[in-house]
């Protein structure tokens, strides 16, 4: 196959009606732009992951390998941290979170469900489980969909959670409860941590645990293509060693070390010297639930003749594996006993134990991703020493956006847009390993300038810059990267695509000479931003 023309939505899901073709086209264009931004940002890292490629700019031959990487959906950090407490306690902790006395991280909401799978459990008055809902849908898609159409997002919430969901339930709000308005759209910003998607009992729509970011998955896969060696020159190939050396992911998870080691092995090749493949995540990029192993399940004796445990499994979004597909593309699934059967999920057993916790089901299925593997078209990569040995640390920004919506932007991954011929103020740029007098520059094309209006240090290594940005009337359309340079000369890498110049009239919100009033992020918001912007996987 030739180069991809576009990145498709996760599982090729179409969330629009036949009358909403314009909205569908807008979503597809914005989504493809987002995945391209995540991919190009990885490719501009230092050192560059030369064995990772962008399918939009690289031909993919018909004989390309499609590798599948799977891991158990149950959170490994729960089982490892609380190995001495027994299975029932571990299942309870995975469902509801460890008690505060355990000082466990990542914190909620649903922070502990960190294997790119999160779930919500519904119980009857007797405490028995009647339904468990599972999602692996990335949050970045839902923030993008909200920017295109809040009405479609509301419709999907009402389908997945119930008709009780109201539009205002999904708004981001400031510290006094007022909706936060997105200057680009002129509408309330989306809050993915709303009450219908922030517990393990009231419903689940998409991933919210901080480590469960699609952008993190792409970054991890890219960094894992870099071959590493220790101080004696010996190759590093074990999963935990690669994570520690390359400074990506979290070693105690199922997902991160398995993804990293699998990708690294594809690149290293059978000879161990880098004769393997160039790698990229397959289109449509995403994480996907796989069908459970129902051989471990047993129905009670009262079950109807011919009934099977698999009859309780329903796919609400995405689809099971089709002809020629390497994995199931399941985004949202439910395990629920048909009402006419007359019993509950808790009356079913897995390996002889009644299902008293949703977490028991996650031990029976995998989360998976697929990756393209190309035979190397470049010279075999060199083995590099560990990233943690690099000095000095390089300044970098994970986010640029108008200040009121800056905290949510860390979760959305959306780039900022500005119309030609406008000036916008109250823009926040959050940067790590940076000086207060660092030089901030837009790269990629001329026509965009900035003025620094102030800085706010959040700790010794992170600073929030307040900016005013101007796009000239003749500024070329397209994306700009952001490059930071410290006083000691340490710079970059440039972060790809954080700003996009668009034509006048593109944005529904107002972009006048000054947009919005100056809003200082709260200490709480800065803390959220700091935790989300820390090194990949430790977020």
Q: Which pLDDT does position 538 carry in this prediction?
A: 31
Collapsed DSSP state (helix, strand, coil) of residue 3: coil
Collapsed DSSP state (helix, strand, coil) of residue 89: helix
User: What average pLDDT does this structure show over 186-202?
Assistant: 95
In this predicted structure, the answer to whether residue 522 has a pLDDT above a threshold of 50 is no
Q: Which pLDDT does position 523 carry in this prediction?
A: 39
Q: Which pLDDT does position 1 carry in this prediction?
A: 61
In this predicted structure, the answer to whether residue 416 has a pLDDT above a threshold of 70 is yes
Q: Which pLDDT does position 388 carry in this prediction?
A: 62
- pTM for the whole structure: 0.92
| pLDDT tens for each residue of 429-438 | 999 889 888 9
User: What average pLDDT does this structure show over 92-98?
Assistant: 97
Q: Which pLDDT does position 513 carry in this prediction?
A: 37
Mean pLDDT for the chain?
Answer: 90
**Token pair in block for residue 134:** 């599972």
**Token pair in block for residue 413:** 């991954």
DSSP 316: E
Question: What does DSSP say about strands 366-374 and 462-471: parallel, antiparallel, or unpaired?
Answer: unpaired
Query: Is pLDDT larger for residue 516 or for residue 321?
Result: 321
Taking alpha carbons only, the member of 403, 453, 458, 462 closest to residue 435 is: 462
**Token pair in block for residue 411:** 């979760």
Q: Which pLDDT does position 45 carry in this prediction?
A: 86
Choice among 63-72, 161-170, 403-412 with the minimum mean pLDDT: 403-412
Q: Which pLDDT does position 152 carry in this prediction?
A: 98
- Is residue 456 very low, low, confident or very high in pLDDT (cuts 50, 70, 90)? confident
User: What average pLDDT does this structure show over 372-396?
Assistant: 76
- Is residue 378 very low, low, confident or very high in pLDDT (cuts 50, 70, 90)? low
| pLDDT tens for each residue of 285-326 | 999 999 999 999 999 999 999 999 999 999 999 999 999 899
Q: Residue for token digits 């001495």?
A: 84
| pLDDT tens for each residue of 198-209 | 999 999 999 999
Q: What percent of the chain has pLDDT over 90?
A: 73
Q: Residue for token digits 């590093």?
A: 236
User: What average pLDDT does this structure show over 247-253?
Assistant: 89
Taking alpha carbons only, the member of 400, 426, 425, 422 closest to residue 499 is: 400
CB 249 within 8 A of CB 220: yes
Greatest C-alpha distance within the chain? 75
| pLDDT tens for each residue of 104-154 | 988 889 999 999 999 999 999 999 999 999 999 999 999 999 999 999 999
**Token pair in block for residue 227:** 């071959």
- Is residue 534 very low, low, confident or very high in pLDDT (cuts 50, 70, 90)? very low
- Is residue 274 very low, low, confident or very high in pLDDT (cuts 50, 70, 90)? low
In this predicted structure, the answer to whether residue 528 has a pLDDT above a threshold of 50 is no
In this predicted structure, the answer to whether residue 264 has a pLDDT above a threshold of 80 is yes
In this predicted structure, the answer to whether residue 532 has a pLDDT above a threshold of 50 is no
CB 367 within 8 A of CB 116: yes
In this predicted structure, the answer to whether residue 525 has a pLDDT above a threshold of 70 is no
Region for 497 from its dihedrals, namely left if φ exceeds 0, alpha if ψ lies in -120 to 50, beta otherwise: left
CA distance 143 to 153: 9
Q: Which pLDDT does position 70 carry in this prediction?
A: 96
Query: Is pLDDT larger for residue 274 or for residue 258?
Result: 258
Choice among 56-70, 171-185, 263-277 with the minimum mean pLDDT: 263-277
CA distance 31 to 7: 7
CB 259 within 8 A of CB 212: no
Structural domains of the chain, with CATH: 1-138+216-388 (no CATH), 396-533 (2.60.40.10)
Burial class (CB in 10 A: 0-12, 13-18, 19+), 343: middle
In this predicted structure, the answer to whether residue 521 has a pLDDT above a threshold of 90 is no
In this predicted structure, the answer to whether residue 516 has a pLDDT above a threshold of 70 is no
Q: Which pLDDT does position 290 carry in this prediction?
A: 98
In this predicted structure, the answer to whether residue 459 has a pLDDT above a threshold of 90 is no
Q: Which pLDDT does position 375 carry in this prediction?
A: 81
């Amino acid at each position: 196959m030739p180069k991809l023309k576009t990145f498709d939505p996760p599982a090729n899901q179409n969330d629009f009606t036949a009358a909403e073709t314009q909205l569908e086209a807008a979503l597809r264009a914005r989504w493809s732009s987002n995945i391209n931004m995540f991919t190009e940002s990885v490719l501009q890292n230092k050192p560059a992951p030369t064995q990772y490629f962008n399918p939009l700019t690289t031909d993919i031959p018909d004989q390309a390998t499609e590798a599948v990487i799977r891991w158990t959906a149950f959170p490994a950090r729960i089982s490892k941290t609380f190995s001495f407490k027994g299975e029932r306690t571990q299942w309870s902790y995975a469902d509801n979170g460890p008690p505060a006395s355990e000082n466990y991280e990542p914190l909620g909401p649903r922070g502990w469900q960190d294997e790119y799978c999160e779930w919500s459990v519904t119980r009857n008055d007797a405490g028995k489980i009647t339904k468990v809902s599972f999602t692996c849908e990335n949050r970045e898609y839902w923030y993008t969909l909200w920017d295109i159409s809040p009405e479609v997002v509301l419709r999907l919430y009402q389908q997945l959670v119930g008709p009780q969901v109201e539009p205002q339930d999904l708004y981001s709000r400031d510290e006094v409860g007022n909706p936060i308005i997105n200057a680009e759209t002129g509408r309330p910003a989306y809050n993915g941590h709303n009450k219908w998607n922030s517990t393990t009992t009231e419903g689940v729509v998409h991933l919210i645990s901080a480590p469960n970011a699609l952008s993190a998955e792409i970054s991890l896969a890219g960094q894992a293509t870099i071959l590493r060696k220790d101080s004696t020159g010996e190759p590093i190939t074990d999963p935990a060693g690669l994570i520690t050396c390359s400074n990506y992911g979290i070693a105690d998870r199922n997902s991160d070390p398995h993804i990293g080691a699998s990708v690294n092995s594809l690149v290293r090749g059978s000879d161990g010297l880098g004769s393997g493949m160039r790698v990229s995540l397959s289109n449509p990029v995403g994480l996907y639930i796989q069908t459970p192993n129902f051989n471990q399940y047993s129905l009670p004796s009262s079950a109807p003749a011919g009934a099977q445990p698999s009859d309780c499994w329903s796919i609400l979004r995405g689809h099971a594996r089709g002809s020629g597909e390497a994995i199931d593309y399941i985004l949202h699934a439910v395990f629920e006993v048909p009402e006419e059967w007359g019993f509950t999920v808790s009356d079913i057993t897995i390996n002889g134990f009644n299902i008293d916790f949703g977490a028991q089901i996650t031990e029976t299925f995998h989360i998976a991703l697929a990756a393209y593997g190309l035979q190397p078209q470049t010279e075999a990569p060199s083995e590099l020493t560990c990233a943690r040995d690099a000095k000095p640390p390089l300044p970098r920004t994970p986010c640029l956006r108008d200040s009121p919506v800056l905290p949510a932007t860390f979760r959305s991954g959306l780039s900022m847009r500005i119309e030609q011929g406008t000036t916008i103020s109250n823009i926040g740029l959050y940067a790590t390993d940076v000086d207060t007098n660092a030089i901030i520059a837009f790269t990629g094309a001329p026509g965009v300038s900035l003025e620094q209006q102030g800085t706010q240090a959040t700790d010794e290594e992170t600073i929030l810059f307040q900016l005013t940005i101007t796009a000239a009337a003749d500024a070329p359309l397209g994306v700009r990267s952001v490059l930071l340079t410290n006083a000691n000369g340490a710079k970059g890498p440039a972060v790809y695509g954080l700003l996009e110049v668009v034509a006048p009239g593109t944005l529904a919100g107002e972009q006048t000479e000054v947009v919005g009033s100056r809003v200082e992020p709260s200490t709480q918001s800065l803390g959220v931003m700091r935790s989300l912007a820390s090194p990949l996987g430790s977020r």
